Structure 1
């Protein structure tokens, strides 16, 4: 009987060692996958944040240029000299131009929204609202000789600047926070 125990104990010890090795190996692979995914996601977020900031700066600049005095004079001249309903054509041009200016920012906002985190998503909500404000302010009085309504545009630019600062702060916090695989679940 002692001989059987002498064979049984090392066999059980070997089996426990094999099972522990499998468990530890799986844990290491899972941990490494989480680390690599976290690094990939962090890089994707940084790229998306920078692309959104670039699109945002371009968008605000184009909205400002659109209501620049020289551009307004050109638009009024086109509306007044157009045969037919020139002011309706002017309104259509303004609406199309504001839509074209806003589209790249909307696309960049969607990309950032896909990547998170929640704090950046909340900041994107403010950017989205500011973008809508810029678009609406620029369209006020479109198709009318009183276009543009500069007080509304200036207020929209102020809200856009404030939303950009909120977004920058959220991005900075998300970027400066080191990834921690132990916090990740899944």
Structure 2
């Protein structure tokens, strides 16, 4: 009879082990999925940050080229040779060009804002304000002989550089900060 109790106790311990193993196994699977998702998200964030920086550099360069003296001369020549209201046509061209320059950065900003983290979201907001400033400065006096307002353009470039620097600092901090292991609730 003592042998049967030993078998019964051994079987009971095994059964309890199986029952305890189910929640432990589920916890391990959830934890592993969470870790893999964080790794994937971190990679996506880094790609989005780099894409935004590339788009930003291109955008600022194109805004500067749009109001470059050579481009202004070309625009004024087009106004003089345009049949009808050349200034209105010039204003339309400048508006369309400004929108075309801004669009890639707006898309990249949305992607970064979607992925986070919060410190980078704040820096993205500064970039969005600077992008609006670049557009407004370029459009100031558009459709008139005083275009472009070089003072406004210079201020917007300075604001754009400050926003870019803040974004770089935020990205550097987000990238260099290791994720902290902590208990997360699902």
Moved over 6 A (4+): 1-4
- Name which of structure 1's ranges 33-42 and 145-154 shifts more when overlaid on structure 2: 33-42
Cα distance in 2 between the residues matched to 1:91 and 1:183: 57
Determine if contact 1:112/1:121 at 8 Å carries over to the other structure: yes
Please name the residue that 2:38 is paired with.
38
Please name the residue that 2:179 is paired with.
179
Cα distance in 1 between the residues matched to 2:157 and 2:84: 34
- Name which of structure 1's ranges 36-45 and 134-143 shifts more when overlaid on structure 2: 36-45
1:63 Cα offset (Å): 0.2
RMSD of equivalent CA atoms: 1.7
Please name the residue that 1:57 is paired with.
57
Residues 135-180 of structure 1 show CA distances to partners (whole Å, capped at 9, x for unaligned) of 0000000000000000000000000000001111111111111123
Please name the residue that 1:120 is paired with.
120
Cα distance in 2 between the residues matched to 1:5 and 1:159: 81
Q: Which runs of 5+ in 2 are unaligned?
A: none
Determine if contact 1:124/1:167 at 8 Å carries over to the other structure: yes
* Greater relative contact order, per chain length (Cα 8 Å cut-off, separation 6+): 1
Cα distance in 2 between the residues matched to 1:159 and 1:8: 77
Residues 34-79 of structure 1 show CA distances to partners (whole Å, capped at 9, x for unaligned) of 1111111111011000000000000000000000001001101111
Cα distance in 1 between the residues matched to 2:36 and 2:6: 45
Residue 91 (str. 1) matches residue 96 (str. 2) = no
1:30 Cα offset (Å): 1.4
- Name which of structure 1's ranges 52-61 and 110-119 shifts more when overlaid on structure 2: 110-119
Q: Counterpart of 2:182 in 1: which secondary structure?
A: helix
Cα distance in 1 between the residues matched to 2:165 and 2:183: 28
1:12 Cα offset (Å): 3.0
Q: Which runs of 5+ in 1 are unaligned?
A: none
Please name the residue that 1:142 is paired with.
142
Count of residue pairs the alignment pairs up = 186
Please name the residue that 2:109 is paired with.
109
Determine if contact 1:137/1:152 at 8 Å carries over to the other structure: yes
